């Protein structure tokens, strides 16, 4: 399948571009950074807000994997541009080009202010922990609108902690390995007629507290488990940060350190 990957030079994008190419997909890699993607059939250096460039990249593709965005907190205007405006550009390009499938990189922070201990499934109500989380909720809603209006198929992946390996106690629950990230995206691209669907992007972690069942129903079969690193991670003394991170789904993002005025662009 010809698939456009936005944010292809980023940490997830690099892994997903190589992984999808390895699975036999024809990958068009797009990023605003000047980058190299030897496995891609085409590299496009453009901002995903550049509608003409995105239209050109999507022309002839069947699917898009939209990963490009600020990966952390920023002001609300920056967040809306990074998550909602970019997604709008991608969706409009897909409608014009007849590309029917989107895998959208959402985040656990869309429900990050949900207290731990609550079941977190695909139907958990939006409860963002940051403007970043608000951006992901809004972009998911935009995706849903395009599914209803234009008949697109979209899988929103609420990604946990994409790392080489778990780095904290929270990561023992939230880790998404490189291999599972590729498996997750591949499931989102190939599951038959999902309409609009949500899955949690984590590995098959023994200590997971997000429901993997919605992903499994979409064909996502994670193979890694953070538990293999548990002895190493737990050998470090538990800190106040660890204790706080255990309180909410979004971990540190739910903390006071992340509270800031919505319109403050200065940090």
Does 161 interact with ligand 15L (rule: CB under 6 A)?
Answer: yes
CB proximity list for 218: less than 8 A, separation 6 or greater? 155, 187, 188, 191, 194, 197, 199
Task: Tell me which stretch binds ligand 15L (CB under 6 A): 28-36, 82-90, 104-112, 211-219.
Answer: 104-112
Q: Among this protein's residues, is 132 annotated catalytic?
A: yes
The contact mask relative to ligand 15L for 53-72 (x = CB under 6 A, - = no) is ------------------xx
How many CA atoms, within 13 angstroms, populate the side-chain half-sphere of residue 18?
11
Q: Give the integer Cα–Cα distance in Å for 165 and 92.
A: 36
Site string for ligand 15L, 10-49 (x = CB under 6 A): ----------------------------------------
Q: Is 87 a residue that touches ligand 15L (CB under 6 A)?
A: no
* Contact criterion met (CB below 8 Å) for 104 and 156: yes
Taking the least distance from each CB to ligand 15L, the nearer of 25 and 83 is 83
Taking alpha carbons only, the member of 135, 176, 182 closest to residue 5 is 182
Question: Minimum distance from CB of 72 to ligand 15L (Å)?
Answer: 5
If one asks whether residue 173 binds ligand 15L (CB under 6 A), the answer comes out as: no
**Looking at 34-42, 103-111, 181-189, 238-246, which segment touches ligand 15L (CB under 6 A)?**
103-111
CA–CA separation, 149 vs 100, rounded Å?
A: 12
**CA gap 193, 200 in Å, rounded:** 18
Nearest Cα neighbor of 144 from 134, 152, 133, 135 is 152
Count of residues that bind ligand 15L according to CB under 6 A: 10
Which residues are the active-site residues?
A: 132
Binding site residues, ligand 15L, CB under 6 A: 71-72, 107-109, 159-161, 174, 251
């Amino acid at each position: 399948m010809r698939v456009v990957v936005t944010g292809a030079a980023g940490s997830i994008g690099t892994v997903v571009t190589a992984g999808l190419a390895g699975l036999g997909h024809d990958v068009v890699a797009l990023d605003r950074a000047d980058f190299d993607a030897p496995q891609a059939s085409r590299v496009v250096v453009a901002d995903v807000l550049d509608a003409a460039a995105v239209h050109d990249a999507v022309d002839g593709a069947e699917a898009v994997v939209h990963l490009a965005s600020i990966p952390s907190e920023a002001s609300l205007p920056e967040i809306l541009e990074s998550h909602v405006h970019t997604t709008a550009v991608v969706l409009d390009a897909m409608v014009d080009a007849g590309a029917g499938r989107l895998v959208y990189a959402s985040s656990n922070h869309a429900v990050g202010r949900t207290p731990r201990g609550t079941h977190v499934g695909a139907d958990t109500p939006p409860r963002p922990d940051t403007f970043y989380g608000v951006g992901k909720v809004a972009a998911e809603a935009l995706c849903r609108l395009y599914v209803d209006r234009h008949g697109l198929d979209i899988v929103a992946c609420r990604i946990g902690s994409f790392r080489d390996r778990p780095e904290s106690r929270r990561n023992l629950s939230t880790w998404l390995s490189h291999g599972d990230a590729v498996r997750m995206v591949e499931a989102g691209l190939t599951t038959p007629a999902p309409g609009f669907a949500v899955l949690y992007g984590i590995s098959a972690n023994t200590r997971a507290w997000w429901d993997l069942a919605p992903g499994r129903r979409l064909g996502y079969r994670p193979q890694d488990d953070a538990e293999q690193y548990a002895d190493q991670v737990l050998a470090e003394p538990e800190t106040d940060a660890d204790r706080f991170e255990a309180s909410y789904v979004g971990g540190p993002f739910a903390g006071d350190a992340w509270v800031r005025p919505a319109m403050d662009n200065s940090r």
